[in-house]
Amino acid sequence: MNLIVSKKNKKKIQIKNIISSKIIKKKIFKKLLFLKKNTIIDGFRKGKAPIKLIKKKFKKNILKEILEKIINKNFLKYIKKKNITKYSNVKYFLEKYKKGMDLNYTIEFNINYHILLKKLKKIKLYKLNIKITKKDINKLILNFQKNISKWTIKNGLIKENNKVYINFKLLSKNKKVIIKKNNFKIIMNKNFLLKKIYKKLINKKKNDKIIVKIKFSKHHPEKKITEKKSFFIIKIIKIKKKENNKINFKKIKKLGFQIKNIKELKKNILLNLKEESKKITEENLKNQFIKKWNKIFKKKFSIKKKKNQIKTIKKNIFLKYKKKKNIFKKSYNINVIKKAKKELKINYILNKIIKNESLFVSNQLIKKIYQQTIKNFYKNKLDKIKKNKIKNNIRKILLINKTFSFIFKYILIKNKHCSFKKALKIHKNIKL
């Protein structure tokens, strides 16, 4: 190959080459002989048609096919020699071929963001290798059972996952009442409640009174309390719990399982736990990558982009808050500016990979998942806007998953053994 290689810029490469007329002639003749042996033409037996007739009938197609094969072969040889693994936008420019003359041609192509790949190769992650035991299976069965059991009054101390009914007043510095609510329900979960509220309520009992001093974030969806130091006066009215003792197969059948015996149930539970383990592993890998990428990637985004991202986050928080108006939720009291910066960084690499790799999701797959979604979650008929919204969300999720799969090919990932119990704790702390 007598290649002339030139770089138009850091990403674009141009290759110029010549194909000898002798090579073209030789390849054409070989192809004609092959067609002569294997083609049936009217009036002739197989392999007995004159080569002139074969040439007249197939010459144009043969020439096109041979030139494409030679050019592609030379191009792939060059790519392999230079160890270029990712490239895109390959364009061919050919001169008109004249019989007995050499053919000049040019190829242009882009090398895909080698700088980003170098950064990705610096990242090291660990993959959870989750071990599932009999205890995990029994615990999950008990949790199923617990879900269908009724809440019962509890007389002891407040524990994790208890339902607590409270009367509360939120006072300003001047002791004016900002918000007042009676018989307000809280599920005790340290991953969802404000840290100070959780710590003050846990291990307390009925009729206990507590005072909590809190400063809310300036981005909190409840405008009355944003960026103000406030005082909660809370009285515990009632505590409820759910029993979780022995496995009762009759109770489990009420959940709608079409299962004959406990052994069959345990087999199904094991399959469910394996699927859940896969999801936890994938989400944990994504979470690790996001954290490490935010540390190593230092790009300044425009003020306009930051403002738009902050606006989107605030809108999503407000829509969630509007439904239940639970001011005790941890997720409403976040630093929106920090979150916006993190989201911009991760969106940057995802969009860059999607664009450069020309990643896409087939409409057939979207349609299949859409039909399953409608069947499982929507009983009423949907209008066009709602349908398109669901389809776009499905496309977005599938595309992000595909992009992460691409990212993980370039990252060193080591296995880490882990129990299912520990994996669940890790899962609770995942913030995507």
Give bridge partners of residue 230 from the DSSP assignment.
Answer: 214
Residues 98-130: tens digit of each pLDDT = 777 888 888 888 876 556 777 888 899 999 999
Cα(238)–Cα(235) distance, integer angstroms: 9
- Burial level of 204, CB count in 10 A (0-12/13-18/19+)? middle
Contact yes or no for 425/191 (Cβ under 8 A): no
pLDDT by residue (tens digit) across 365-396? Answer: 999 998 888 887 777 788 888 888 899 999 99
Q: What is the pLDDT of residue 229?
A: 83
CA–CA separation, 279 and 47 (whole Å): 60
CB 419 within 8 A of CB 131: yes
Q: Find the mean pLDDT for residues 182-210.
A: 92
- Give me the pLDDT at residue 120, please: 83
Tell whether the model's pLDDT for residue 254 goes beyond 70.
no
Phi then psi for 190, rounded to 5 degrees?
-70, -15
* The pLDDT of residue 47: 75
- C-alpha closest to that of 276 among 432, 148, 426, 126: 426
Q: Which residue has the higher pLDDT, 167 or 45?
A: 167
Cβ contacts of residue 377 below 8 Å, gap of 6+?
none
Pairing between strand 229-241 and 163-171? antiparallel
Q: In the prediction, which pLDDT does 208 show?
A: 95
Q: Is the pLDDT of residue 301 over 80?
A: yes
pLDDT in tens, 1-36: 567 777 666 677 888 888 888 888 888 888 888 887
259 — pLDDT class (breaks 50, 70, 90): low
Q: What tokens does 179 get? A: 């918000």
**Which DSSP letter does residue 245 get?**
-
Is residue 101 within 8 Å of 21, Cβ to Cβ?
A: yes
Tokens at residue 269, please? Answer: 């539970």
- The per-residue pLDDT of the chain, averaged, comes to 85
pLDDT in tens, 34-43: 887 877 777 7
**One-letter amino acid for residue 319 of the chain:** L
Q: Are strands 177-187 and 412-419 parallel, antiparallel or unpaired?
A: unpaired
Q: Is the pLDDT of residue 270 over 80?
A: yes
- Sorted by sequence, the CB contacts under 8 Å of residue 155 that are 6+ apart come out as 205, 206, 239
The pLDDT, as a whole number, for residue 7 is: 65
User: Measuring CA to CA, which residue among 370, 398, 410 is closest to residue 386?
Assistant: 370
Most confident range (mean pLDDT) of 77-81, 162-166, 188-192, 370-374 is: 162-166
Is the Cβ–Cβ distance between 194 and 329 less than 8 Å?
Answer: yes
Answer whether residue 357 shows pLDDT above 80.
no
**Angle at 134 (CA atoms; ends 132, 137), nearest 5 degrees:** 75
Instruction: For CA atoms 53, 55, 60, 66, give the dihedral sign.
Output: positive
Q: How high is the pLDDT of residue 10? A: 61
Spatial distance between the Cα atoms of 318 and 106, rounded to a whole number of angstroms: 56
User: Pick from 307, 293, 413: which is nearest to 353 by CA?
Assistant: 293
| DSSP H helices in 177-261 | 195-201, 249-253
- Give CA–CA dist 163/240, Å, rounded: 5
